[in-house]
Amino acid sequence: MSAAQNIRIQFITVSVGIILLLIKFYAFKITGSNAILTDALESIINVVAGFVALYSLILANVPTDRNHPYGHGKVEFLSAGFEGTLIFIAGVVISAKSVYNLFFPHELSSVDIGLALTAFAGLVNYIMGVILEHRGHKTNSLTMVADGKHLKSDAYSSAGLVIGLVIIFITKIAWIDNVVALLFGLLIAFTGLKVVRHSVAGIMDEADDELNSKVIKILNANRTENWIDVHNLRIIRYGARLHIDCHLTIPWYFKVREAHDEVDKLEQLLAQSFDSNVECFIHLDPCIPEACRFCPKTACPQRQTDFAHLINWLPENVLLNQKHGYQYIGKD
């Protein structure tokens, strides 16, 4: 259901983007402002990137198949990378045209009307950007987060352009238009590079420290006495889908059914904690005698050492491929 809602929201975003594109080019036509042109050119990128994002969300929602056992979610990283590249190119083109018009200036007209249209378009972009980014974080969709950040950066650019146009309107100094356009062209190019960097990190399965910490916090808050330790935690994003691997240490004498129940509890906990598809591969480890000092299971019939203290699960120990009992032997 969340995937269908994401697609519907993205479709609305693209439709609104087309309307704003026409408004901005009309504002440029009547003013001849380079600053407004930068906004209009970026809107072309918004629309193209919006269509690519829409397609990637539809493709990412295709179920797993024989050729794609982990699903099609990785396309979201490609979509974000494509969008980031377009943003960067737009920033470079805008900067180049601004420098050109510093040496070969042209007259501005109807700045007041262009000012009002640009302000309106910027406000709409900001609202849509906030909605997309919030929705993307909620459903783990990098495509929606990237598109939301893009629209918000466009809105910030519009705000800066409005300030520049107000100064031009008051002072009648036309070259300010080109300086403002140059500054925001460079800002847009930098934003594009950041989006590309983030998408490459996703394609390369770079560790997400924030996501790792969030999962570990959930495990700490809901740990049971049968979960002696969790280690070798790995999390990979496939679009809105999270693939989580880990080793779960449980009492060595548990029967298969009891062990399977503990795995089910952990899988259900992670699935309920994220508004997205979560796939878990959990490897079971038997406890070792050295772990008795850190095991809170009070009714353990096989305990060999008195309980000393609980080990707090942190990225420093949960991400290691090492049972906590081995790691902390001889340490208090």
Structure tokens at 283: 């490897």
Q: Mapping DSSP to helix (H, G, I), strand (E, B) and coil, where does residue 283 land?
A: strand
Could you state, in order of their start, the residue ranges of all structural domains in the chain? 2-203, 209-327
| Closest listed residue to residue 216, CA positions, set 236, 198, 234 | 234
Tell me, which fold does domain 209-327 have in CATH? Answer: Alpha-Beta Plaits (3.30.70)
According to the model, what pLDDT value does residue 331 have?
40
Residues 141-152 have pLDDT tens digits of 777 887 887 788
**pLDDT of amino acid 46:** 76
- Are 81 and 200 in contact by the 8 Å Cβ rule? The answer is yes
Q: Considering only the top CATH level, what class is 2-203?
A: mainly alpha
- Given CA atoms 270, 271, 272, 274 in this order, what sign does their dihedral have? positive
Task: Give the pLDDT score at 243.
Answer: 87
Which pLDDT belongs to residue 286? 93
Both tokens of residue 260?
């399977």
The backbone torsions φ and ψ at residue 312, rounded to the nearest 5 degrees and listed phi first, read: -75, 125
The model carries a pTM of 0.63
pLDDT at 265: 95
- Residue linked to tokens 């990378």: 81
Q: Which two tokens stand for residue 22?
A: 């026409």
Q: What length is written for the chain?
A: 332
Picking from 88, 104, 100, 274, the residue whose alpha carbon sits closest to that of residue 195 is 88
d(CA 164, CA 158): 10
Regions in the chain scoring below 70 on pLDDT: 1-2, 34-35, 38, 105-111, 174, 239-240, 275-276, 324-332
What does the pLDDT read at residue 332? 36
Helical H segments across the chain, by residue range:
2-31, 34-60, 75-103, 111-139, 142-171, 175-203, 209-222, 256-273, 315-318, 324-327
